[in-house]
Structure 1
Amino acid sequence: MSDRSRLFAACAAYAFFVVYGSLVPLDFQPLPFGEALTRFAHIPYLALGVESRADWVANGVLYLPLGVLAARSARALGLGSASPVLAFAAAVVLAVAVEFLQIFFPPRTVSLNDLLAESIGSALGVLAAPLAGRGVGRLLAALHRGPAVWGPRLLALYAVAWVLLSLFPYDLLLSAGELAAKLRSDQWGWLLAPVDAGLLGLLSLAVEALIAAPQGWLIVLQLRRSVGAAALAGAAAGVALELAQLLLASGVSQGASVLARAAGFAVGAALAP
């Protein structure tokens, strides 16, 4: 299979995943086509509260890879400078089709909010496609040059994914009132957040340290820094991430997580070959 065929297959597979995931639990309810069109023509724009913001952002994130794959596929078809526009149009058409299909699956919510999020995600994916293409190309080229070359690049990719996933679902607090409510909640603490107290909270700290460890390894390989420097870098990253979590509706911020990440960076640095 050629590289272009693999790209088309990946795009088609991800589009299927988007459709399937958007219709789960697949509770189909028959409806006259004309009535479905009428309902779709009057879908509302909802006033979403902070509790719904994560779902709204997740809709956009779901379509971001689709925008990347659609743009890369359009480029592979030789569509030239029109590729980004056509890729975005194709992603939006799919989003509209999926929202229409959701009318036949009542557990799903159909709204203009979802279409807006999906359009934004598709646009960001199309814009990120050239960068993603170069990054994947460099990684694939490095795979033929041995672990000394592709190892650090895989670790750098892991570091980017670590930061992005640490802040998911990006449900940013948008007002002083929302931030004040967050500060009154049990989702933060100078040492331990009440919501994460107990054995399960301690286990989550151990997982945070384990997940952070590869960053220490990367610091040693790329920057030739000591274990102590890696621990300081882990503490700095921990502070930045916990402050960011404080500004997210679903985020949990606590000082113990800073210590866990510092320990993880140090362990990773100590175990680096």
Structure 2
Amino acid sequence: MPRNLDLTALRAFVTVAEMGGVTRAAGQLNLTQSAVSMQLKRLEESLGQPLLDRTQRGVNLTAQGEQLLSYGRRMLALNDEVWARMAGDAYEGEIRFGVPHDIIYPYVPKVLQRFAAEYPRVRVELVSSFTKGLKAQYARGELDVILTTEVDCEPEGETLLTQPLLWVGAPGGSAWRHRPLKLAFERVCIFRLAVQQALDEMGIEWDMVVESDSSRTIDATVSADLAVHANIAGNAAPHLQQIDHGGTLPQLPEFKINMYHAGRSDMPLVTALASFVRDAYHPHLLKATG
């Protein structure tokens, strides 16, 4: 006899897994924590499988939970698509997405492409600025979803990636060999002070040859091999490359790429965009079923 999954309980499970806790999930679903916990329990009982490992702190999925997460995302996406199509209520409007210039690549273009394919009547306004400015705009309600580069993450944020800074320069360039080391950074770039401190600690003289508020100016200078820069590992622009300095430059500290969004059950577009961003940074979660 066919049996049916409770999609409400399934949505609660997926939200808990994605938000990293019952408390955040409850806020996003506009439910109480006890209601979300009851839905998780009901889903586990209906499947006869443990979905969460409760022997550890935080939210950790069991092997069965990881498998269900992949299925659950697809089922909920299809459910939402059918509901929108059959109800004649296709989403339209605008969503505002803020991203620092130096982490647009390689993930953001893929996110925008996927969102446009699934919500063709929704316009995404991409705002590129610095973390401090983006957080201020977000606090004023001027942006719906933002990515940031920070040393830490605030409680309402979600860390997508933690990676070290890496030295980057022109492909095949030699600017990194010169002393004093020529640097190019925006005036308010959060990486700037960390780079200067690391060079000072290693006793390497440096010269800030370009100070600008324009990311394009920095990129042009570095790609011309007139200076070097630093980016979070894996996020350098296509026209720059990691410098293989063999230890002649200092190791740089780690930074976090965080996401902040005001996603709630009554803001499906914001929730969808945040989900696509999360999937782009963690594609392995989509392949849990092989």
Query: One fold, TM greater than 0.5?
Result: no
Question: Which has a greater percent of strand?
Answer: 2
TM bin, normalised by shorter chain, reads under 0.3
